[in-house]
Amino acid sequence: MTVIAVIDYDMGNLHSACKGLEKAGATPKITSSPLEIAQADGVVLPGVGSFDPAMQHLKERDLIEPITQAVKSGKPFLGICLGLQILFEASEEGKEEGLGIIKGKVRRFQSEANLTIPHMGWNTLDFTQNNHSLWKNLPLSPYVYFVHSYYVTPSDSRVISGQVTHGSQTVTAAIAKDNLMAVQFHPEKSSHHGLQILTNFVELVCT
């Protein structure tokens, strides 16, 4: 039985992420227990909401060290939406320090004529790491579902594994570095392409 810890820090709809993982063949376990996170075969860090409350909740639940150790352990780790952003050092959305696992900052979309903020709805995902296992069995430029006003800017562009264009701005939509993967979009809301991504993640956990 493949157990994936879905970290509960009061920032998002955990159940939709769990349903997607179940469909992909995993046994998700919603938890804020450091021991259960350490014992899990893989970890998912979801998130919906704002940067500062997310970091405050992680501190209140003593989850910063368990998350950092989970990434260092080498087990597959997937961040989703806000769970991507808080991996970075800081955000223009707030004043709290991020986890700093990935160097770089979270920035707000720049206003331009006819640009809707937040970026919400279906858009194409363009791969920059075409051979990454997370993208296995996906077509080029699959449609996935986004809801965000902020995007990540890694200091090292080599960690960028996917991009999205909104208006005239092309920004990071996914990162991957060793066992750490994270996406700005919601795979659990992205129909069969999202399910394929979650299935690919579960396969990584099982190998």
Cis peptide before 118 (omega within 30 of 0): yes
Q: Which is catalytic among the residues 18, 81, 119, 166?
A: 81
From the number of C-beta atoms within 10 Å of its C-beta (0-12, 13-18, 19+), residue 16 rates as middle
What's the number of CA atoms in the CB half-sphere (13 Å) around residue 155? 10
Q: Which is catalytic among the residues 18, 119, 148, 188?
A: 188
What percent of the residues of the chain are helix, what percent strand, and what percent coil, each to the nearest 5? Answer: 30, 30, 40
Please indicate whether residue 57 is annotated as part of the active site.
no
CA–CA gap between residue 75 and residue 94 (Å, rounded): 30
Q: Which two tokens stand for residue 146?
A: 């986004």
Please indicate whether residue 92 is annotated as part of the active site.
no
Q: Which is catalytic among the residues 119, 148, 166, 186?
A: 186
Contact assessment for residue 204 and residue 21, using Cβ atoms and an 8 Å cutoff: no
Please indicate whether residue 97 is annotated as part of the active site.
no
Active site (catalytic) residues:
81, 186, 188
